Structure 1
Amino acid sequence: MNTKIVHLYPQFLLFVLIFLVPFPCFCLQTDTLTSNITFRDSDTIISGRHVFKLGFFSPENTTNRYLGVFYNVSEETVVWIANRARPLNDSSGTITFSRNGNLVLTNGRNETLWSTNVTDTSPRNTSAQIQDNGNLVLHDTSMGSIIWESFAYPSDVFLPTMRVTDNIYTGHKVGHSAWTNRSDPKPGSFTSALVALNIPQIFIFNNGRPHWRSGPWNGMILTGVPDMYSPYLALYSLWNDSEGTFYFTPHEGTFLTKLTLNSTGNLVQTINECDIYGTCGPFGSCNVRDSPICSCIRGFEPVNKEEWESGNWTSGCARRRQLQCSISNNTSGNRDGFLRLPFTKVPDFAEQFQSRQPDVCRTRCLSNCSCIAYAHDSGIGCMSWSEPLVDFQRFDGVGIDIFIRLESTELYNHSDRLLAIIIPVVLGFAAISIVIFIAWCWNKRKGKRFGDIKVFEVEHVISSDSSAIVLNDETEKVKVKELPLFSFKTLSNATDKFHEKNLLGRAKGKVIAVKRLSAASGQGNEEFMNEVVVISKLQHRNLVRLIGCCVEGEEKILVYEYMPNKSLDVCLFDPDHPSQMILDWKKRFNIIEGVGIGLLYLHKDSRLKIIHRDLKPSNVLLDEDWNPKISDFGMARIFGGNEDFGNTSRVVGTYGYMAPEYSMEGRFSEKSDVYSFGVLMLEIISGKKNMHYYNHELSLSLLGWAWKLWNEENGLDFVDQTIESSIFQGEIVRCIHIALLCIQEFSKDRPTVQTVLSMLSREIIDLPRPEQPIFAEKWNRSHVGIGTTQRSSQTENPYSNDLTITVLDGR
């Protein structure tokens, strides 16, 4: 079945760019209705920047009239409707204000068809305003407050700053409902809503039954929406208040995001049947690239083979072998194991418990006979399942790894089982040979402990567009000059087959760290060789040293010098790590300065000019004396000649640390590394991650929280509470000031790394005043109302006339 279906929420990717030239119309010269204005069918009011307008319209194939909000450039693109269920059958509609201040729509017979319905019955003076975000708001003019807004009663369109909500105590939700059909905007069968109980997800329902779900929210993205894994598209936030209400909202930015739930429960992008809830039934796996799209998870078989073969997969699959844990009712001798399935949209009905360690998830699931699968995500923690796995989907290169519990014999294929029978028979006859073989291996290891060290070469090209490494033949063994090549067997033996707790070994008496790149890393030959070539040419005390590498078959492994104090993110953000109490201000300042010195070497002092492009706490390692060393050069770019900047169509790195010009335009330079360095400084000072809220009322990011406190001359409240800050308060506040200069919106306003180091060492005493960071707030800047610095008109107007018009999807 190759039926193509269109969904609104499943992709979250419809960006509508609008060229904002006022659309010629007969309209009242205002964006506000008051009690002394008569508003009739032929009238409209337009928002201040000519983005949206309020007026009457008729859908296609009907003469019925509705009061709605639509784009100023296209009256066919309606985003909100007042009288959805009670249309006017002529042009007699009038908007007035009632005695208690409600906005009321009446027809020619003075019948009320719609009202804002604020329940207060006392007389009140009010006004209604259409805002530039598409929200129609009712103001109490005496109090200056908003008493009603259309965003709290959405139709079928999801706009920036609009909130989808769910109160887990009262059950009250704010969601969207589709039109009945293209000519009738009355609420139809399909609705969308946030389901926040347990792990929050977005659902589309068909008459109350799940039709599609987004997958769990992990703090940054909805994990079941593949396109959200792009660094461009971490554009949504979810948070909750003290009264149990969860809010899901898109960040406000320079794009107009418009998502529409249509009358068939679908949206604007074509998708496949795998996005329909439960297509493959319990324990069925859906993969759009397979034919047929449904298959049973390994260890399972179709419940009804005839139905399955005919293309009806809804009955799902059942286990071939019963779990041993449930038979023996004890965990000490059970013979169950886990099958790893990478890149998935995890099933529905996950149960959550917090843990940073995947091993904890495994142990807890294995000790509970009712646990049939587990997964781990750094933003969610552990997820486990005790119910049949429903709505399970396989993705291509993105998603969460899930581990399915199977009886141990199901973990091996047929050839493995046959081998398990043959080996015991052969083993008796081969005992002597095995002993001889072991002795031979021992002698070989003793004579040449780490395998043959080979001389190898790589050809690299430094072109005008900063291209990275070009291999002579990727099918042959990779060769690099003067860098030891370790065998896969050597590294496997040294790390006990790459056990997570033992990725260490010894090379010529030195402890080493082993970095094995998995398929899930997304790092291919280009990035791997880029890292090998770049770091093999660099020698600096603040850069991690590469000892060697291994390239065999699909394996790509790097061997580094060992850093006993691990990475900076572990020391800063892991509450159970003892280093949190050790990282006093002197050590933190030394880390800041050391990272800056390392960056200066990359940018200015090395014989290659290098932009790192992925500077963050996990890529800063700490040696035994807490000296920082920058690592992970897989995304680095080498500049040739007198190049100062580069452009790329492939943006790589980590959202939250990327400079605005890089994340939005693909333009990178030394100043984009400076931006990342500024974010890193704020994390070191605060001990908190950037991609979190630090004031729910104002919806501030870490950058916004730092700006607000510094701007209010209250910078010490930003500092990690484990630091004794009173002694160093002047130096700490100065570092916050320098960090804010590093994260300025425009690269020309940021200092170079050399200037930053001069500021840190007080060679430069007087510091310029920074402007408010572009990513300070999660939504409406006017709502937050902090800071006094005025930005340029282009930045101040998020609906710039420089945008290109695109086709608007009319009814």
Structure 2
Amino acid sequence: MFMLNLVIASDTLSPGQSIKDGERLVSSGQSFELGFFSPENSKYRYLGIWYKFSPEKVVWIANRNNPLTDSNGALTFSDEGNLVVLNRSKSIIWSSNSSMVLRNPVAQLLDSGNLVSFDYPSDTQLAGMRMGWNLKSGFEGRLTSCKSTDDPSSGDYTNGINVNGLPHFEMFNRGSTKTFRTGPWNGFRFMGAPATESAPFKSLFVYNETDVYCEFDNPVEVIITIFALNHSGVIQRLQRKKESSTWDVMMTYPRDPCDNYGQCVANSVCKSNKDPRCQCLQGFVPKSQEEWKLFNSTSGCIRKAQLNCFQEPGFLKISMLNRPDPIDFWVECLKNCSCTAYANSDVRGGGSGCLMWFGDLIDIREFEQDNHVQNIYIKLSAYEVMLKNDPILERSRLHQT
């Protein structure tokens, strides 16, 4: 990363002042710097924020989609009180776009890394930065990848919280192709996410009538952690000790092929430690046995026995699975013939709330372990459930076939 080495001995920008290319603001605790830089192998200039002790780790970029072509840029205030980046001809190429006209505005680079960066996330979530929704204003904070290591403009991948049904994180490629999702919030954490009780950061999830967001803090001052989405669509939790010279990877998503969205088809489960990886759920069989023998599972799985809506069904409990996608939780599963499966929405205190699925069960993976067991109840005929729960009857049925 190329930058000039002039520093303004302040963390604050006031009306009438400007930050020119080569000048920098420094937060009061010497944690962050703001200024103009060029990525490696790039001639373009961008206004960004980076760690003072790790200048290569740029955590926010203002004009990522409208770069400067020379070193004549400047950060200043407009007449309306907005922060703006100007080019050589004094044209605005980026603005903070406040809806209010501000008198005597002041911009301060905080030791959290916040200037206006928390309102305009780039590809990195810092401690204290909210990822999610303000339901009143409609504002959404989500991460957007860079195009490449040399091009910080908005890339192909976005990661944010879906608030339809129970909140869960989703990643999309080019805005429309879902590539990854977590399980929904279960009262303790997003299903499938690793436990963080012993981690050097503390997560917080808020879910109420006005806000749905996730944030974290760094209570261990000597260890910094960040959450970043790279240009390849990989989400990483990074950590660095302040005296260290490198960032270490704590967590990576997707972790294995089963994390890729829709890795296995309808009514099947992805098991990363099995071969073949995709296997039909209990009570279901391959729609095409010939294709599955050739490791082609695209036709999916169908029920062994069709349900009779006039007969009372049974429910088979299966644990350690990521819940299917999508969900609907407004009707009672037992009395609705098209309901395929149900589960508790909150696992605390023995479980509460009800989620239901209709039609095919999509994007399911198996977990090897989970401290907060997730049970899913799949609707089968009462006879099938009896067979599954009685090994003698099951062996007898297999012998007859």
Aligned partner of 1:125 in structure 2 is: 104
Structure 1 420/295 Cα, relative in aligned 2: closer, same or farther at 3 Å?
closer
Aligned partner of 2:376 in structure 1 is: 402
Aligned partner of 1:248 in structure 2 is: 214
Could you tell me which amino acid in structure 2 is paired with residue 394 of structure 1?
E
- Deviation digits for residues 344-368 of structure 1 (CA, Å, limit 9, x no counterpart): 2111223347xxxxxxx9xx53333
Question: Are residue 191 (structure 1) and residue 138 (structure 2) matched?
Answer: no
- Is the 1:65–1:90 contact (alpha carbons within 8 Å) kept by the matching residues of 2? yes
Could you say what the CA RMSD is over the residues aligned between the two structures, in angstroms? Answer: 2.7
Which residues of 2 match residues 403-482 of structure 1 at below 5 A? 403-411=377-385, 412=387, 416-417=393-394, 419=396
Counterparts of 1:312 and 1:212, CA distance in 2: 22
Q: How many Å apart are 1:277 and its aligned residue?
A: 1.0
Counterparts of 1:422 and 1:61, CA distance in 2: 68
Counterparts of 2:150 and 2:142, CA distance in 1: 21
Question: Are residue 78 (structure 1) and residue 58 (structure 2) matched?
Answer: yes
- Deviation digits for residues 89-114 of structure 1 (CA, Å, limit 9, x no counterpart): 11111112111211111111222111
Aligned partner of 1:342 in structure 2 is: 319
Which residues of 2 match residues 87-126 of structure 1 at below 5 A? 87-121=67-101, 124-126=103-105
Aligned partner of 1:178 in structure 2 is: 145
Q: How many Å apart are 1:314 and its aligned residue?
A: 4.3
Q: How many Å apart are 1:215 and its aligned residue?
A: 0.8
Question: Are residue 295 (structure 1) and residue 295 (structure 2) matched?
Answer: no
Could you tell me which amino acid in structure 2 is paired with residue 378 of structure 1?
V
Counterparts of 1:263 and 1:213, CA distance in 2: 17
Structure 1 181/318 Cα, relative in aligned 2: closer, same or farther at 3 Å?
same
Q: How many Å apart are 1:80 and its aligned residue?
A: 0.5
Identify which of 318, 321, 326 aligns with 2:302: 318
Aligned partner of 1:134 in structure 2 is: 113
- Is the 2:144–2:229 contact (alpha carbons within 8 Å) kept by the matching residues of 1? yes
Aligned partner of 2:263 in structure 1 is: 279
Question: Are residue 38 (structure 1) and residue 12 (structure 2) matched?
Answer: no
Aligned partner of 2:342 in structure 1 is: 374
Identify which of 49, 54, 59 aligns with 2:39: 59
Query: What is the aligned-residue identity percentage?
Result: 35
Could you tell me which amino acid in structure 2 is paired with residue 214 of structure 1?
T
- Is the 2:123–2:228 contact (alpha carbons within 8 Å) kept by the matching residues of 1? yes
Counterparts of 1:422 and 1:292, CA distance in 2: 25
Question: Are residue 48 (structure 1) and residue 17 (structure 2) matched?
Answer: no
Structure 1 68/409 Cα, relative in aligned 2: closer, same or farther at 3 Å?
same
Paired residue total: 368
Could you tell me which amino acid in structure 1 is paired with residue 380 of structure 2?
L
Counterparts of 1:77 and 1:42, CA distance in 2: 18
Structure 1 220/157 Cα, relative in aligned 2: closer, same or farther at 3 Å?
same
Determine helix, strand or coil for the equivalent of 1:250. strand
Counterparts of 2:23 and 2:107, CA distance in 1: 14
Question: Are residue 151 (structure 1) and residue 115 (structure 2) matched?
Answer: no
Structure 1 344/421 Cα, relative in aligned 2: closer, same or farther at 3 Å?
closer
Q: How many Å apart are 1:41 and its aligned residue?
A: 1.0
Q: How many Å apart are 1:166 and its aligned residue?
A: 2.3
Counterparts of 1:282 and 1:50, CA distance in 2: 53
Could you tell me which amino acid in structure 2 is paired with residue 344 of structure 1?
L
Could you tell me which amino acid in structure 2 is paired with residue 59 of structure 1?
P
Aligned partner of 1:465 in structure 2 is: none
Determine helix, strand or coil for the equivalent of 2:118. helix
Structure 1 349/113 Cα, relative in aligned 2: closer, same or farther at 3 Å?
same
Aligned partner of 1:599 in structure 2 is: none
- Is the 2:16–2:77 contact (alpha carbons within 8 Å) kept by the matching residues of 1? no
Aligned partner of 2:246 in structure 1 is: none
Determine helix, strand or coil for the equivalent of 2:15. coil
Counterparts of 1:57 and 1:307, CA distance in 2: 54
Question: Are residue 232 (structure 1) and residue 198 (structure 2) matched?
Answer: yes
Could you tell me which amino acid in structure 2 is paired with residue 351 of structure 1?
D
Question: Are residue 216 (structure 1) and residue 184 (structure 2) matched?
Answer: yes
Structure 1 421/220 Cα, relative in aligned 2: closer, same or farther at 3 Å?
closer
Q: How many Å apart are 1:197 and its aligned residue?
A: 2.6
Identify which of 365, 383, 391 aligns with 2:333: 365
Structure 1 111/220 Cα, relative in aligned 2: closer, same or farther at 3 Å?
same
Structure 1 179/422 Cα, relative in aligned 2: closer, same or farther at 3 Å?
closer
Counterparts of 2:399 and 2:286, CA distance in 1: 31
Structure 1 304/235 Cα, relative in aligned 2: closer, same or farther at 3 Å?
farther
Counterparts of 1:31 and 1:170, CA distance in 2: 30
Identify which of 264, 269, 279 aligns with 2:232: 264
Aligned partner of 1:387 in structure 2 is: 359
- Is the 1:219–1:237 contact (alpha carbons within 8 Å) kept by the matching residues of 2? no
Determine helix, strand or coil for the equivalent of 1:419. helix
Structure 1 59/124 Cα, relative in aligned 2: closer, same or farther at 3 Å?
same
- Is the 1:371–1:386 contact (alpha carbons within 8 Å) kept by the matching residues of 2? yes
Determine helix, strand or coil for the equivalent of 1:392. coil
Structure 1 71/199 Cα, relative in aligned 2: closer, same or farther at 3 Å?
same
5+ residue gaps, structure 2, are: 237-251
Deviates more, 1:279-288 or 1:341-350: 341-350
Aligned partner of 2:247 in structure 1 is: none
- Is the 1:168–1:197 contact (alpha carbons within 8 Å) kept by the matching residues of 2? no
- Is the 1:279–1:314 contact (alpha carbons within 8 Å) kept by the matching residues of 2? no
Structure 1 130/422 Cα, relative in aligned 2: closer, same or farther at 3 Å?
closer
- Is the 2:6–2:23 contact (alpha carbons within 8 Å) kept by the matching residues of 1? yes
Structure 1 47/347 Cα, relative in aligned 2: closer, same or farther at 3 Å?
same
5+ residue gaps, structure 1, are: 1-23, 137-148, 354-360, 424-811
- Is the 1:57–1:65 contact (alpha carbons within 8 Å) kept by the matching residues of 2? yes
Counterparts of 2:176 and 2:397, CA distance in 1: 51
Structure 1 420/265 Cα, relative in aligned 2: closer, same or farther at 3 Å?
closer
Counterparts of 2:85 and 2:41, CA distance in 1: 23
- Is the 1:220–1:236 contact (alpha carbons within 8 Å) kept by the matching residues of 2? no
- Is the 2:5–2:23 contact (alpha carbons within 8 Å) kept by the matching residues of 1? no
- Deviation digits for residues 521-549 of structure 1 (CA, Å, limit 9, x no counterpart): xxxxxxxxxxxxxxxxxxxxxxxxxxxxx
Report the structure number with the largest CA radius of gyration: 1
Determine helix, strand or coil for the equivalent of 2:113. coil
Counterparts of 1:29 and 1:281, CA distance in 2: 59
Q: How many Å apart are 1:198 and its aligned residue?
A: 2.1
Q: How many Å apart are 1:33 and its aligned residue?
A: 1.2
Could you tell me which amino acid in structure 2 is paired with residue 401 of structure 1?
N
Counterparts of 2:399 and 2:121, CA distance in 1: 67
Could you tell me which amino acid in structure 2 is paired with residue 367 of structure 1?
K
Determine helix, strand or coil for the equivalent of 1:416. helix
